[in-house]
Structure 1
């Protein structure tokens, strides 16, 4: 009778300490799309060319497949233990000129950006990388 009790106890112990989500699951913030800020939207003016818009906003996340005159910029942040923040800017062009600007979402505050807290090594800035000496460099020969 003592052996089945040990087996059941061992089974319950393994079940509770296994990879099940009994104790909770680690979650991450998931940012997706183009980062859209209020400052970027404020720089847009009707009459700007597509090139000028691309310099301010970057390339669009979505271009309407049947109407090349509409660009969509969408930013979505799904917080791990919170809600979802979404911003959307739709730009409509008339030929090569910006005609209409429509936006949705909360632009009153800066977007919440997830911190880079991964388990991997921290990335170094380019300024922190030492330059290699050029003593042993041979010129290219034709």
Structure 2
């Protein structure tokens, strides 16, 4: 009987320990969308052409499905152990010219991206000091 009690106690203890974790799960900041800065929005002017807006802001994340005259630039940063910061700039065109600029969120606020990792995935085997191997490609055959 005493052996059965020990086995049950040990089983319950192991079951409880396996389900509970004090360490926690690793999380990372998750940036999504078009990075929209205050400087970019300040350069927008009514009367700009669509191509000028694309040169300044990049391609829009969203175009209204039923109205091609409305472009949305949305940036969302989901902090790993904090809140969510979201910015949105909606541009309305009439024909080929920018007519209206509306923004939501704290455009003036500064969003800091991690400097040590940057944005995007890392290429295995390349340290931060090495140059990008694509820039230093040499032809395999002479004369190319």
Change in Cα spacing, 1:21 to 1:69, as seen in structure 2 (3 Å) is: farther
- Does the CA-based 8 Å contact 2:47-2:98 persist in structure 1? yes
Shift of 1:68: 0.3
For 2:71, the equivalent position in structure 1 comes to 71
Q: Does 1:127 align with 2:128?
A: no
Deviation beyond 4 Å, 4+ runs, structure 1: 117-126
Asked if the contact 1:32/1:76 (under 8 Å) is kept, the reply is yes
- Name the counterpart of 1:31: 31
Matching residue of 2:103: 103
Question: So what's the TM-score if we normalise by structure 1?
Answer: 0.78
C-alpha distance 60-123 of structure 1, shift in aligned 2 (>3 A): farther
Question: Which blocks of at least 5 consecutive residues in structure 2 are unaligned?
Answer: none
What's the TM-score, normalizing by structure 2?
0.78
CA distance in 2 between partners of 1:4 and 1:95 (Å): 80
SS in 1 for 2:45: coil
Structure-1 residue corresponding to 2:47: 47
Aligned residues: 137
